Amino acid sequence: MGIYMDLDAHKHTIFVTEIESDGQFGEQNETQNNQYAWDTFRSGYLDLKPETALEISAKGKYVARLLRDIGFFVNVANPSRMPDV
């Protein structure tokens, strides 16, 4: 079974959280928001075919397009429309 990725992108940084198919959190990383970091992300995760969730924000549309363009399937989440858990 695959993994899930949660991405929280900001102007200068990206927070990446891996979530296993059983719901357990895997690695959590913070990286720079630049081309080198995106290339590294792609090479590390694309073959795993993760289901990717992206919090929509000012940078969200840019990041969603970038991820789609480098081969990822992206689910966009709007936190204000999500129920509290």
Quote the pLDDT of residue 43: 92
Q: Is the predicted pLDDT of residue 1 greater than 60, yes or no?
A: no
Q: Residue 24 belongs to a domain with what CATH number?
A: 3.30.420.40
Domain ranges, residue 70: 4-81
Q: For 56-78, what is each residue's pLDDT tens digit?
A: 666 677 888 888 898 888 888 76
Quote the pLDDT of residue 46: 86
| Number of domains composing the chain | 1
Q: For 20-61, what is each residue's pLDDT tens digit?
A: 888 889 999 999 999 999 999 999 888 888 888 887 666 677
CA dist 64 → 26, 46, 68, 83 (Å): 22, 15, 6, 22
The structure's pTM equals 0.74
Distance of CA 33 to the CA centre of its chain: 12
